[in-house]
A and B are shown apart, each in its own frame.
Chain A
Amino acid sequence: MSANIIDGKVFAANVRQKVASKVADLKETHGITPGLAVVLVGEDPASQVYVRSKGKQTIEVGMNSFEHKLDVDTPEEVLLALIDELNADPTVHGILVQLPLPSHVDESLVTNHIAPEKDVDGFNIANVGLLGTGQQSMVPCTPLGCLLMLRDYHGSLSGKNAVVIGRSNIVGKPMAQLLLNESCTVTIAHSRTKDLADVVRRADIVVAAVGRPEMVPGDWIKPGATVIDVGINRVDTGDAKTKLIGDVDYASCAAVAGAITPVPGGVGPMTIACLLANTVTACCRINNVSSESFLL
């Protein structure tokens, strides 16, 4: 048996397409152009790449992109004042502060300063609580991307046994909340779990988000299960080159799984697509326009 490959690039392009047509509709019917503000503090090379890529894709789907680049030694209160401004700016519907921030800035103070309705990363503590109680909230992009792929592949997820490996605030925990909202029976496993292989073998759906290269072997996977690999680990290939691999051992897992996401090209491309989708969702909610079905 060989697993269906869930192609994240194709899927993300599809999401961007839906976002673009909703943006067109918002412009035409309501005269509103969704806007995403991205704040970058300092010159971390990886962050610069992300921010550039986010800006480019924002413009491609027809939204306004506002980039704010601040010096690495920008005082906290200056950053907070900028967020105040963006919170109050009616042309801005989504605010993203690129993490990590320099060490003199309190990261949680900054994320909690973003107005919850514009918090497209879903890291504001109020959004975390709303999601944690199954209420309407902004949902972190990476787990949202995983959920969209799972929904597309399975249709209804109700009653399925899902195991989330990893309990991080940005992936594992929100992923578990989303799967609970879909009426899955959810197990959250992690580094402290006693018999991880045994726990994973029960799952119809496995989401691996631990950041340990190839830690899930194929013999942990129930035949036919769906495997979502959130891990992105850069490893040496020995010839002075590096490559990206996931948290699951792709070859052995693909041999037993029913469906699997590759790394790279699986969950990764979905993250920015979901950021764009979140911006549209925020824009719709702020303007009392229905956003319910645009991602279906």
Chain B
Amino acid sequence: MIEVPPNPRYLWGKPIQQRILADVRDYVKNTSYMGRLVSIAIDGTAEVSVYIRNQAKVAADVGIEFEQQFWDRDITQGACKAIIKGLNDDPSVLGIIIQRPLPSHINVRLLQTAIHPLKDVEGMNPESIGNIVYSDIELAPCTAAAAIEMIKFLDLEIKGLEVVMIGHSEIVGRPAAMMLIAEGATVTVCHNMTRSVAMHSRRADVVLVAVGSAHLVGRDMIKPGAVVIDIGINQQESSDGKIKIVGDVDTEAVAKVAEWVTPVPGGVGPVTVAILMRNTVLAHQRQLQSIWREVG
């Protein structure tokens, strides 16, 4: 099936994804032993399993072994940490992925902290985040890194750009803001306590949105010629009862003023999974450098 872009201003993720995955495929081909990725889901919902299936498919496509573990919902925090410690110590494990959401009695941050930084392919360990704050942005949380990758794909000079990040979550908004500062942008972080988001976003050369609110950003919030990166994923029921996935941006309307807007689905999403694979290669390289892993 050939995808025909319905709008020339839509910035699709697929070509960016393919470019990243081609590099990953090359690396894997030239490496005799990579080890395996371990995905951990606890009490997985249908939504989570779509993500996992997609990651597994892409991993298979580039030749990285992908093990899916599903833990019982009654598992304790302590037991989780103990198993993760075992995975840290297991030389056949290349990286560890914790699928969200988790049951309410499990503290996701503590699990992310338990993962050894050299196996942290999601870039969520405090040390990984600390490195980003200190402008070492090579290994970053996948979604934030995917958003930045899409801006870079446009060959924009990020230095000096005025960027507005709407949303200050620890997984996306904050790391993305820190990465953009490291790249030399002037960054404003807006959130639910911001008095007038539009006042800020209308000045921006690039607007990123990650709040989880369907069609929050309309065309009146965007400066003509700006780039809009939509990181939101929201389920919306249409009048005929069907569920469709929409972003935080009213894509069609915004495309009338913006130079580029990433569609949902098909924009940041496909790049995110590619970044996960790139982070995996990075983890492999770093494990080699630290003499954790024998060259083979």
| A208 interfacial by beta-carbon distance below 8 Å | no
Tell me if A147 counts as interface (CB < 8 A to partner B).
no
Is A40 in the interface zone, CB < 8 Å from B? no
Is A133 touching B174 in the complex (CB atoms < 8 A)? yes
Can you list 11 contacts pairing A with B, beta carbon distance less than 8 Å? A129-B130, A130-B129, A132-B129, A132-B133, A177-B174, A180-B191, A183-B193, A185-B188, A185-B194, A185-B200, A199-B186
Establish whether residues A159 and B186, one from each chain, have CB atoms under 8 Å apart when the complex forms: no
Indicate whether B209 reaches chain A with its CB closer than 8 angstroms. no
Task: Say yes or no for A186: interface residue by CB 8 A criterion.
Answer: yes
Residues of B within 8 A of A226 (CB): none
- Once the chains are docked, how many angstroms separate the CA of A150 from the CA of B2? 57
A129 and B174 contact, Cβ closer than 8 Å, known pairs A180-B168, A185-B189, A187-B187: no
Q: Is the CB of A132 within 8 A of B181?
A: no
Q: Are B134 and A192 in contact (CB under 8 A)?
A: no
Assembled-state Cα–Cα distance A127/B126 (Å)? 7
Footprint of A on B, CB under 8 Å? 109, 125-135, 159-160, 162, 168, 170, 174-175, 177-178, 181, 184-191, 193-195, 200
- Are A128's CB and B133's CB within 8 A? yes
Chain A residues with CB under 8 Å of B177's CB are 188
Given A134-B170, A188-B188, 10 more A-B residue pairs with CB atoms under 8 Å apart are A124-B130, A132-B175, A133-B126, A161-B195, A169-B133, A176-B189, A180-B168, A185-B189, A188-B177, A189-B186
Beta-carbon nearest neighbor of B189 in chain A: A186
Contact A192 B184 (CB under 8 A): yes
Once bound together, how far apart are the Cα atoms of A45 and B144, in whole Å? 44
A173–B131 alpha-carbon span in the complex (Å): 12
Residues 164-190 of chain A: 1 if any B CB is under 8 Å from the residue's CB, otherwise 0? Answer: 000101000100110010011111111
* A173 proximity list for chain B (CB < 8 A): 133, 178, 181
CB of A79 within 8 A of chain B?
no
The winner among A132, A190, A192, A199 for most chain B CB atoms within 10 A is: A132
Whole-angstrom CA separation of A21 from B131 in the bound complex:
37
* CB pair A169 B200 closer than 8 Å: no
Once the chains are docked, how many angstroms separate the CA of A161 from the CA of B196? 10
Q: Across the interface, which residues of B come within 8 angstroms of A185, CB to CB?
A: 188-191, 193-195, 200
Asked if A29 lies at the interface with its beta carbon under 8 angstroms from chain B, I say no
Q: How far is the CB of B14 from chain A (nearest CB, A)?
A: 30
A192 to B178: give the CA distance in the assembly, Å.
15
Interface size range of chain A in the complex: 20 to 34
Query: Which residues on the B side are within 8 Å of A132 (C-beta)?
Result: 129-130, 132-133, 170, 174-175, 178
Bound-complex Cα distance A183 to B192 (A): 8
Q: How far is the CB of A110 from chain B (nearest CB, A)?
A: 15
Chain A residues with CB under 8 A of B186: 187-190, 192-194, 199
Q: Say whether, besides A129-B126, A193-B160, A134 and B195 are in contact (CB < 8 Å).
A: no
Query: Are B133 and A135 closer than 8 Å at their CB atoms?
Result: no
B-contact bits for A119-151, CB 8 A (1 contact / 0 none): 000001111111111110000000000000000
Bound-state Cα–Cα, A188 to B161, Å: 12
> Would you give the shortest CB distance from B189 to chain A, in whole angstroms?
5
Whole-angstrom CA separation of A128 from B133 in the bound complex: 7
A180–B174 Cα gap in the complex (Å)? 9
Residue of chain A at shortest CB distance from B168: A180
- Taking the nearest CB of chain A, how far is it from the CB of B207, in angstroms? 14
Distance of A256 Cα from B178 Cα, bound (Å): 31
Whether B193 and A158, one on each chain, are in contact in the complex, defined by CB atoms closer than 8 angstroms, is yes
Which B residues touch A176, using CB under 8 A? 189
Is B191 a contact partner of A134 (Cβ separation < 8 A)?
no
Q: How far is the CB of B177 from chain A (nearest CB, A)?
A: 8
Docked pose: A289 CA to B128 CA in angstroms: 29
For residue B185, which residues in chain A have a CB less than 8 angstroms away from its CB?
A: 192
Tell me which residues across on chain B come within 8 A of A161, comparing CB atoms: 195
